[in-house]
Amino acid sequence: MPEDKITLEHGAGGTAMMKLIKEIILKEFSLKQRGPVGLDELDDGAAVTVGDNTLIFTTDSHTVKPLFFPGGDIGRLAVSGTVNDLAVMGGQPLAMACAVVIREGFPLDDYRRICRSMDTAAREVDVPIVTGDTKVMEKGALDEMIVTTTGIGLAKPLKTDSMLKPGEKVLITGNIGDHGATILACREGIAVEGELKSDVAPIWETVQAAMKAGEVSAMKDPTRGGIAMALNEIASKSKVDIVLEEENIPISKPVRSLTEMLGIDPLTLTSEGRAIICVKAEDCDAVLSAVRKTKYGKDAQVIGEAKEGIGTVVLKMAGGGRRLLRPPIGDPVPRIC
């Protein structure tokens, strides 16, 4: 890729984006955090101490194409993405802000539909959208719409993606890659047997149930770069190895068909309504049972275990043998969220 230009890979959530963040953002933004988790940690959000409280603060911009897709739209995606970033740090959502940039000539009925979708998703987790901003750009200066959402949550207790310990189990709350596969098929007009539908959803209820049922350590939502990226981040930051059982990773038949057809690794595809939850071994059954009783956790599975190591992810193949599961350079589908 060009060394002096921004490329699509720089926004795709993989190693190219991480390099951009470390070489430019972390070097140029020098003021340090006022809490236990700041910019340097590169977690799903920041933790800010206010008196005796730990607040989680996160923000995200959404550029998904198309704006409307099976299972959701950019509005539901924006709210869910911010809620989920709070949730995987142990943050109960308190309030959200929304800033929208719209192109001139955008249909009012579509905008109304997106706003209603945002409200519906926010109501699922009882988090009000309390402030925001609206800008309009002239035709040709913007492709449809950009939605930026910011959220504040209260962590009791705080969770980070560097807390995984050897011997703990790794869960996923449902089928992986549904969102990425759906966007790809919708965008390119690819038909597969069965229904492809995005998993986009706010998962605070599922995460809260897990934390109440047992001792949860690290968590992460496998968005850009899929579980391959998310698990590598957890393993690297926690300085442990993660050993995955390929046959236990839940993948729907339509997603498997699409990825086999296109030669894409489903472990690198984005999910927008799933969480990786790491728990103490003795609490695993209780947490798994609690998660499966929630609306968005019924297909949860235990997919792996943490071992003493150096921060790698190893995949035990269903047919025998092992391979390193490396972090992708970028997401195989640009403008996925």
In the chain, domain spans: 45-155, 169-324
Which pLDDT does position 38 carry in this prediction?
60
Strand partners, 91: 155
Contacts of 324 (CB under 8 A, 6+ apart): 312, 313, 314, 315
Does residue 16 carry a pLDDT above 80?
A: no
CATH of 169-324 given 3.40.50.300, 3.90.650.10, 3.40.50.1460, 3.40.640.10: 3.90.650.10
166 neighbors 240 (Cβ within 8 angstroms): yes
Please write the tens of the pLDDT for every residue from 53-101.
999 999 999 999 999 999 999 999 999 999 999 999 999 999 999 999 9
Does residue 51 carry a pLDDT above 90?
A: no
CA distance 186 to 183: 5
The DSSP secondary structure of 133-187, one letter per residue, reads EEEEE-TTSSSSEEEEEEEEEEESS---TT---TT-EEEE-S-SSHHHHHHHHHH
Return the amino acid letter for 12: A
CA distance 82 to 125: 12
Containing 276, the helix (H) or strand (E) segment is strand 276-279
Q: How many CB atoms lie within 10 A of CB 33?
A: 14
Which pLDDT does position 29 carry in this prediction?
66
CA distance 291 to 287: 6
CA distance 255 to 252: 5
Does residue 298 carry a pLDDT above 90?
A: yes
Average pLDDT taken over every residue of the chain: 91
Q: Would you say the C-alpha torsion 30, 34, 35, 36 has a positive or negative sign?
A: positive
CATH superfamily of domain region 45-155: PurM-like, N-terminal domain (3.30.1330.10)
SS3 279: strand
Mean per-residue pLDDT, 288-292: 98
SS3 60: strand
